[in-house]
Chain A
Amino acid sequence: MDKVILLRYGELFLKGRNRSYFEGVLARNIKAALAPFSCTFTRTQNRYYVENYSFADEFAIIERLKKVFGLHSLSVAVKLPTAFEEIYAAAIDCAPSVPGTFRVNVKRADKKLSMNSMQIAVETGARILRAKPYLTVDLHDPEYVVNVDIRENGHTYIFGETVACAGGMPVGTAGKGMLLLSGGFDSPVAGWRMAKRGMKIFAVHYHSYPHTSLQAKEKVVDLAKKLTPWCGGITLYVVPFTHIQEEIHRRCNANFMITVMRRVMVRIAEKLAEKEGCGCLITGESLGQVASQTMESITSTEDAVRALPVFRPLIAMDKTEIMEQAERIDTYEISKQPFEDCCTVFLPRDPVIHPKLEEARAEEEKLQEEEALIAEAIAGAEVLELKEE
C-alpha cells in the first residue's frame, strides 16, 4: 500500500489540438518543482502521479506543487492492487475518525469487475459505518468524501481531501515579459499575476545607490526569489540609475522629475526586453494610486515605449486587494520593510500630477545624450540569475 499524490490540471482541458504542448510544458514545470525531492513522477492520460517519495517530504512536496501554475488540485491517495477487501480496509482508514457525515464516490474504469460502481459504493459505505459507527451517510451535502478510483491497470486509488492548487496556465506557454520590479507591494503581485497566465518573467530593478541602501537592493532580490517557485528561475537586471537621476535633476524641471524618470525607465526596460526576447513590459501600476499613476502620467510613460505593449494587471485593483494578494503569495512581509527605493529620492516638493504629453516630451528632450546615459546604465547592470532556493 503506497502513498501517491494525484495531480489534476485545470484550464488545459479547454485546449484543443495543441493541448499536448501545454501538457508537456506543465509536466516539465512539475518535474522542475520536484527536482529537490527524491520521488518518481509519472504521467498517464489526463493524470499525473508523484510516487515513491519519503513521507518526511510529503508536506514540502505538496506546498511546492501548490505553486505550479496549471495545476488545479491534488490529493494524497493510497495506491493498492484492485481487490475488494483491501479497498474496504483502506476506505475505512481514509474515512474520518470523528463524528460527521460522509459519502463514498466510486469511479470504475476497470469494467471487468464483478460489481458496478454503485454496488461498490454501497458495500464500502456499509463497511465504513460498521467500523466507525459515529459517522452517518449524507449523499447530498457530506462533510467528507471517500473517493475510490479503480483504474484499468489493476490499481485502485483511495483518497479523501482535495487540495486546491494555483490554477492558471503553465509558465512558459504564454511568452516572456519584462517586469519593472520595485521594492513595493504592487510589482511583485503584477509579475505573479502574469506568470499565472503562463508568462515567463524577467525583471528589471533600478538602483540609486548611495541614495538608496544596499538593503533596498537585497529586498528586491528577496522579492524576486519569492516569485521563483511560481515563475521558475528569474533573470533580474539591477540597473544603476543614480547617474541618470542626477542628470535629470540637473537638466529638467523639478516637477517633471518623476515623469521623465519613468520615461527613461521604460526605455531601458524595453531595450532589456528586446535583448531577452520578451514580448511585453509589465508594471504594477494601479490607476490613481499615486501621482505617477494618473491616466495622464501613465500616458506620458507609455509614450516613451517604442513598440512593446505594456501590461498592467493591477490597473483596476484597490490597494487593499493588492496587499491581500501580496500576503497570499508571501511577498507582503518583504515589501513592507522600510527601505527607500529610487522613486523616493530626489522627490520634488510638487510633482506634476497631470503631465501634458507635449511637456513631458519636451522635458525629456532637455536630457542631453540620453542614449549614451541609457547605454551606460545597461552596460553597468548587474544580471542575477535567480533560482529557487
Chain B
Amino acid sequence: MIYLDNAATTQMFEECAAVLQKYDRELYFNPSARYSGALAAQEAVKDARARVARRLGADASEIYFTASGSEADNMALLCSLRRKSGRVIVSAAEHSAVYKCACELERRGYEVVFAPVTPWGAVDTERFTELLTPDTVLVSVMHVSNETGAVNDIKTLAAAVKKRCPKALFHSDGVQAFCKEEINVHAAGIDMYSLSGHKIHAPKGVGALYVKKGVHLSPFVLGGGQEGGVRSATENVAGICALALACELAGERMRAAAPRLAKERAEAEEYLQKNIDDLVILSRRGACLDGFLTLAVKGVRGEVLVHMLDDEGIFVGTGSACSSHSADKRIAAALGVPDEYADGMLRLTCGDMNAEGDLLAACRALAAAVRKERKYIKR
C-alpha cells in the first residue's frame, strides 16, 4: 500500500498510541475530580498545554483544546467578534470550516469579502491589501492551503491588517501548516491560530486554538467551565497528551524528511510533465509545501483516477477529502482551474512516514491510468 493522502489524515505515531493507552486505561480519571488520580490527569493536561504552546511560541494560557481543527476554526470565527457589524475578510480558497463560518457571519449581518488567490492557492498580497478597510473586524487566512500546499506569508498579511485596521482580529487556519511550517504566533502578530491532531500523527478528535491574551471569546459550549469556560466538556486527556507528544515528534521527523520530500517532489513533477499531456500542476514548486503535489488533468474525472490507483494499492485524494462528495467547485473556481480540468483534480500528499520512491511509483501508475481512461473521453 502506498498512502499519499497525508493532507487528509495521517497514521498515528506508535508513541501516541501508547499515550492513548496510558491515559484511557490507567490515568482515565476526570481532571475536575478531587482525588489524586484526577490530579495526575489534570497535571498531564497542564503539561500538554504548555508543550503545545511552546511549539507555537505562545503562552500556555493562550491554548484552548478542541475536538478538531474545524471546531477551532468555528470558535475563532463565530465567538471572537464583539462588534455586531463590519467587514470580514477570508481568503477565497479557505477550508470549508472557515468558508461556512464566513457564510454564517454574512447571514448575521457582517459584510463578508473573499480575498482572491493565485493559481497555486496563495493569497494575492496586493489585492488582499486593497480589501482592508477601517471597519474590518476579522480577517482569516489559512497558513497553508489544504488544497495545494500554498504557503501564505501570514506575518506580512497580519502586519498589513494591523496597520490598516488596528481593531481587526487576525485568524489563521494552521491545520496543514502546523509542524511543517515554522510558526511563532507572537512574532507573527496573529490573534488566533487553529490546529488539528490527526494531521500530525496524533489521534483524530483533538485539536487546539491559540487565542492571544486579551482577545476574548464568548462561550462556544456551555457546561462545566473547562477550557476557560469557552468550551466546556470533560477534557480528552488521552488525545490532548498524544497531541502534545505528536507535535514534538512530528516537528523533528518532518524536518528530517524535508530534503527527501523536496527531491522526490521535483522528480515527480518532471515525470508527470513528460508523461501526461494536458496536465496542470497546481502546487507551484517553491511556493507550496514540498509534501503537496496537486494537479489537474483534462477530460478525466479525478474520482475515476482515484479508483484506478486504488486498484494498484495507491491511495490519493481528490482535493479536500471533507468536500470531495459535494459538487462544490468553489476551490477550482478560486484557483481559476479551467472547466475541462476542474473534474480532474487530484492531490498527492507525502509525509514523513512515506518510503522513498512512493511518490514516483504513484506518478507512474497515474500516467498509465490517465492514458487508459482517456480512451473513453466523452464523444
Contact = CB atoms under 8 A, between A and B. Distances in A.
Interface of A: 209-211, 213-215, 246, 249, 254, 337-338, 346-349
A254 B311 contact: no
Contact of A210 (B307, B327, B378): B307
Given A338-B325, A338-B326, A338-B327, A209 B307 contact: yes
A289 to B, nearest CB: 21
List the 6 closest A-B pairs by CB distance, nearest first: A210-B307, A254-B379, A210-B308, A211-B304, A210-B304, A249-B376
Nearest to B311: A210
B307 A349 contact: no
Given A209-B307, A338-B327, A346-B376, 11 more contacts: A210-B307, A210-B311, A211-B307, A211-B376, A213-B307, A246-B376, A254-B379, A338-B326, A346-B378, A347-B378, A349-B378
A213 B311 CA distance: 12
Contacts of B308: 210
B143 to A, nearest CB: 31
A209 B305 CA distance: 11
15 contacts: A209-B307, A210-B308, A210-B310, A211-B301, A211-B304, A213-B307, A249-B376, A338-B326, A338-B327, A346-B376, A346-B378, A348-B378, A348-B379, A349-B378, A349-B379
B370 to A, nearest CB: 12
B153 interface: no
A117 B304 CA distance: 72
A337 B325 CA distance: 9
Nearest to A347: B378
Contact of B303 (A213, A246, A346, A347): A213
A337 B327 CA distance: 11
Contacts of B378: 346-349
A334 to B, nearest CB: 14
Interface of B: 301, 303-304, 307-308, 310-311, 325-327, 376, 378-379
Nearest to B325: A338
A215 B325 CA distance: 10
Contacts of A346: 376, 378
A333 to B, nearest CB: 14
A367 B376 CA distance: 16
Question: Which of A213, A246, A337 has the most chain B CB atoms closer than 10 A to its own CB?
Answer: A213
Contacts of B304: 210-211
B344 to A, nearest CB: 14
B318 to A, nearest CB: 10
Nearest to B307: A210
Contacts of B379: 254, 348-349
B310 to A, nearest CB: 7
A332 B379 CA distance: 33
Contacts of B311: 210
Contacts of B325: 215, 337-338
Question: Which of A210, A246, A249, A254 has the most chain B CB atoms closer than 10 A to its own CB?
Answer: A210
Contacts of A254: 379
Contacts of B307: 209-211, 213-214
A346 B377 CA distance: 8
Nearest to A346: B376
Contacts of A215: 325
B187 to A, nearest CB: 44
Contacts of A210: 304, 307-308, 310-311
A214 B311 CA distance: 11
Contacts of A249: 376
A210 B327 CA distance: 19
B340 to A, nearest CB: 14
Contacts of B310: 210
A211 B164 CA distance: 51
Nearest to B303: A213
A254 to B, nearest CB: 5
A348 B379 CA distance: 6
Nearest to A253: B379
A213 B304 CA distance: 8
B301 to A, nearest CB: 8
Contacts of A214: 307
B306 to A, nearest CB: 8
A348 B325 CA distance: 24
A213 B379 CA distance: 22
A258 to B, nearest CB: 13
A208 to B, nearest CB: 10
A69 to B, nearest CB: 35
Nearest to B308: A210
Nearest to B301: A211
A211 B376 CA distance: 10
Nearest to B305: A210
B325 to A, nearest CB: 6
